[in-house]
Structure 1
Amino acid sequence: MLGQIDITNRQAEIADLVQKTGFASVEDLAERFEVTTQTIRRDVNGLCELGILRRTHGGVEPPASAGNIHYSTRQILNLGQKKQIADTVAGHVENGQSVAFSIGTTPEIVMQALLGHEGLCIFTNNLNVAFTASANPSFQVTIAGGRLRHGDRDIVGHNAQDFFTHYKVDIGIFGVAGVDEDGTLLDFHEAEVAARQSILANCRRSYLVLDHSKFGRTAHVRGGHVRDVSCIFTDRAVPASIADVLKGADTEVITTSDRELA
């Protein structure tokens, strides 16, 4: 399937750990996962070949980056939490509804969770979402036209922004690069924000999907606010600052822990 990376669960955990800590030695990883150093070297060599990690003396570290993390890395970071979020979102989408999807890894995983539905009408500028949706013959899939961004496999710019204005969908599903302490939604590119805001303006209900790592994460382009969305789907309780911002708002917060307790 387009966009998916063939790695093991252990490799995904290694990538997640190194991204969070900034460095891990081969010996420490071998001890943590209770395997040989030769096994760990094979794991990290594969991750380095994919550009997800890079070798350094005695271990591995995240690749140098001057902005957003590469899509291939984002696909596997916090993967378990993203899948839980996706399963929860799928329970809030009905058969036959129209759904607009933005770019990003979490919306892509939500689309995967929706493949058991019937008769959805999908509108997206995310080619990973489009190809995933095409696996269900009962879905109608409409995509934006324009120039393709190779790394993220998406369409942004005026074409994508205008694309979403032609439809009024039941649900808009989108992620963000980060959420500031005051609730401002953040991304790395103006065109990404414009497309996301176009989805927000042309849906009846809006679902912001993001794992806990996005709260407090910095990015430099402002675009919208948490109070603008109908529902936030995340894996943990939102930070106290966000909870305060949402007091009195119509925005609902649904966490995967709520789903597990239900």
Structure 2
Amino acid sequence: MLAEDRARAIVELVRSEGFQAIDALAIQFGVTPQTIRRDVNLLCDRGLLRRKHGGVELPPEGENLAYPARQVLNIEAKRRIAQLVAREVPEGASLFFGIGTTPEQCALALTDHPGLRVMTNNLNAALALSRNPSCEITIAGGRLRNLDRDVVAGEAHGFFSGFAVDIGIYGVGGVAEDGTLLDFSADEITMRSELARHCRQRFLVLDHSKFGRGATMRGGQITEASVVFTDRPVPPAIAAQLRDAGVRLVVWSDDAVSTAAVNHNGRRG
């Protein structure tokens, strides 16, 4: 197993089973404790795990992970979600991209779409789409969050209100059991709310780990989305809310890519 693959597997093991001792991880992955310590040190430096008494655990609830940590967390799930989204974005669409790693993956999945017009406060998404020479990109001004590479501070709050676009693609810090959307700062909620207010369709993109995940700030409801994209079936209560509100739920399945999907311009992808 490659070091990066092993690191991802360690994180998933800790997420699913909790605290893991160094020696136990070494046995699990068939490597020396020294090798596991190097893996763990890297993961802790990224903010993905936290050291504790001869092993590792997840960081405290209600505290967001560093962006580099989130970029590798559940990466395959995020890529699958991005594939689903890319199938439903027509050529020449105008788009908002919100902050976060799943919108970034959606941007990467759209780098071959011709004629897109994009407005975003997510520099990671902007840089991904800049690979597409036919993509017109407008970015929000204001104070940059260096590690996240996004702009959410007050001077950017009116950015999205200056446009009216076809589709807004946005993520969220977590979803409570009652469908309330959660984030880690008031500025993040303000930017997400403004994005959702000024697009004709709202694509909420989130992997399975966001359901039931704690965050400190409440703002909005999952039923305000037009479409929810995720990688696994959602909790039954959430599914019922979406169904009652007429919100379309798109869930990855093994045959999702081979199944024809109708884009908004009527073209089959």
Regarding TM over 0.5, the answer is yes
Moved more, 84-93 or 27-36: 27-36
Superposition deviation, residue 166 in structure 1: 0.8
Superposition deviation, residue 160 in structure 1: 2.5
The equivalent residue for 1:129 is: 125
The letter for the 2-side match of 1:231 is V
The equivalent residue for 1:162 is: 158
Which of the residues 124, 133, 140 maps onto 2:136?
140
Say whether the 8 Å CA contact 2:80–2:252 is kept in structure 1: yes
Question: Scaled by the length of structure 1, what TM-score is found?
Answer: 0.89
Aligned residues between the structures? 256
Which of the residues 224, 228, 231 maps onto 1:228?
224
The equivalent residue for 1:78 is: 74
The letter for the 1-side match of 2:85 is V
The letter for the 2-side match of 1:167 is F
Change (3 A) 1:182 1:73: same
Write out per-residue CA displacement over residues 103-125 of structure 1, whole angstroms, 9 at most, x where no aligned residue. Answer: 11111111111112122111110
Alpha-carbon distance between aligned partners in 2 of 1:95 and 1:26, rounded to the nearest angstrom: 49
Alpha-carbon distance between aligned partners in 1 of 2:239 and 2:41, rounded to the nearest angstrom: 42
The equivalent residue for 1:197 is: 193
Write out per-residue CA displacement over residues 163-213 of structure 1, whole angstroms, 9 at most, x where no aligned residue. Answer: 101111111000111111111111121111111111111111110000111
Alpha-carbon distance between aligned partners in 1 of 2:194 and 2:68, rounded to the nearest angstrom: 26
The correspondence of residues 47-86 of structure 1 with structure 2, limited to 5 A, is 47-63=43-59, 67-86=63-82
Alpha-carbon distance between aligned partners in 1 of 2:102 and 2:132, rounded to the nearest angstrom: 19
Moved more, 85-94 or 62-71: 62-71
Say whether the 8 Å CA contact 1:16–1:76 is kept in structure 2: no
Which of the residues 169, 172, 178 maps onto 1:182?
178
Change (3 A) 1:113 1:261: closer
The equivalent residue for 1:102 is: 98
Unpaired stretches in structure 1, ≥5 consecutive residues: 1-6
Change (3 A) 1:21 1:73: farther
The equivalent residue for 1:252 is: 248
The equivalent residue for 2:26 is: 30
The equivalent residue for 2:145 is: 149
Query: SS of 1:145's equivalent?
Result: coil
Change (3 A) 1:248 1:58: closer
Write out per-residue CA displacement over residues 83-102 of structure 1, whole angstroms, 9 at most, x where no aligned residue. Answer: 11111111111221111011
The equivalent residue for 2:266 is: none
The correspondence of residues 8-47 of structure 1 with structure 2, limited to 5 A, is 8-47=4-43
Superposition deviation, residue 146 in structure 1: 0.5
Structure 1: 4+ residue segments shifted above 4 A: 63-66
Question: Scaled by the length of structure 2, what TM-score is found?
Answer: 0.87
The equivalent residue for 1:93 is: 89
Alpha-carbon distance between aligned partners in 2 of 1:19 and 1:73, rounded to the nearest angstrom: 13
Query: SS of 1:241's equivalent?
Result: helix
Query: SS of 1:75's equivalent?
Result: helix
Alpha-carbon distance between aligned partners in 2 of 1:61 and 1:240, rounded to the nearest angstrom: 29
Change (3 A) 1:165 1:227: same
Alpha-carbon distance between aligned partners in 2 of 1:223 and 1:45, rounded to the nearest angstrom: 35
Moved more, 200-209 or 24-33: 24-33
**Do structure 1's residue 207 and structure 2's residue 194 form an aligned pair?**
no
The letter for the 2-side match of 1:168 is A
Q: Name the Cα RMSD after superposition.
A: 2.0
